[in-house]
């Protein structure tokens, strides 16, 4: 299976985290996120320890903190939602910076911010140290349904192709003096979207016929069989196991 190009989140490197098999990293991130989500929101110190763990992983992987922080912009909608919670969640009231806010709302906002940020950071580190093609191989190695893996592979491969097609259509419209300035131009944009859909559909038909003519029977060949040693499994397990120990040994309900 191939998904040939490198995504923008990936940071080329030769660290132990980069060399780790992708299916090991996927399970490690999944286990870590499960532990984080299972942590009671009152265990503030535990979330600080989880952040330190991710900081250690970033240091080993040689991923800049500024790189991670820039990618955390994706969680801005969740941050906005969290900031509203102290004002809309009913319950006991308290004053914070001279403003009446809800105590359950404050805890809820903290819960969303802490767990969301840790989960997104773990995902960013995974993407920064693993190529898309390797991620797909890892998913296949973990026995994800082959059809889902193939769909993801084609989405990655042809997403840029369709984006380029849309960009060329936009350039063609502008070169003819078109500028979308109001509702009366929505019809032109709708027709462009329809044309893009038809072109993409026809491209898919041609690609499918080409694959069938080359022997495609419903499954993609695996070009690289990725295996993991016991040492690599132990290294990958260090993140979720350490997080679990922090939760079990330090949290007192």
**Tens of pLDDT, residues 73-130:** 887 777 777 777 777 677 677 767 777 777 777 788 888 889 989 999 999 999 899 8
pLDDT of residue 1: 47
pLDDT of residue 199: 86
Yes or no: say if 132 and 145 are a contact pair by the CB < 8 Å rule: no
pLDDT of residue 107: 81
* Residue 36: DSSP 8-state: H
Q: What is the CA radius of gyration of the chain?
A: 23
pLDDT of residue 3: 43
pLDDT of residue 223: 60
pLDDT of residue 60: 92
Using 50 as the pLDDT threshold, list the residues of the chain that sit under it. 1-4
pLDDT of residue 131: 85
For residues 46 and 49, what is the distance between their CA atoms, to the nearest angstrom? Answer: 5
Residue at token pair 């992708």: 22
For residues 164 and 147, what is the distance between their CA atoms, to the nearest angstrom? Answer: 26
Residue 110 CB partners (closer than 8 Å, separation 6+): 41, 44, 82
pLDDT of residue 33: 94
Q: Is the pTM of this model over 0.75?
A: yes
Alpha carbon 119 to chain centroid, angstroms = 9
């Amino acid at each position: 299976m191939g998904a040939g190009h490198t995504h923008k989140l990936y940071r080329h490197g030769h660290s132990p985290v980069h060399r780790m098999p992708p299916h090991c990293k996927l399970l490690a991130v999944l286990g870590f996120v499960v532990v984080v989500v299972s942590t009671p929101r009152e265990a503030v110190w535990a979330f600080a320890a989880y952040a330190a763990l991710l900081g250690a992983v970033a240091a080993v992987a040689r991923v800049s903190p500024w790189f991670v922080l820039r990618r955390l912009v994706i969680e801005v909608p969740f941050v906005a939602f969290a900031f509203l919670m102290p004002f809309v969640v009913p319950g006991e009231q308290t004053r914070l910076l001279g403003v009446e806010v809800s105590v359950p709302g404050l805890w809820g906002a903290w819960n969303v911010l802490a767990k969301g940020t840790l989960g997104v950071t773990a995902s960013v580190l995974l993407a920064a140290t693993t190529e898309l093609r390797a991620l797909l191989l890892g998913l296949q190695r973990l026995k994800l349904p082959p059809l889902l893996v193939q769909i993801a592979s084609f989405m990655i491969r042809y997403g840029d192709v369709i984006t380029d097609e849309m960009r060329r259509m936009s350039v063609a419209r502008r070169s003819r003096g078109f500028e979308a300035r109001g509702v009366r131009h929505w019809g032109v944009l709708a027709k462009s979207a329809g044309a893009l859909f038809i072109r993409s559909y026809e491209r898919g038909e041609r690609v499918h016929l080409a694959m069938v003519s080359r022997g495609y029977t419903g499954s993609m060949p695996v070009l690289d069989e990725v295996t993991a040693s016991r040492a690599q499994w132990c290294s990958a397990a260090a993140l979720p196991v350490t997080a679990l120990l922090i939760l079990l040994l330090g949290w007192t309900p």
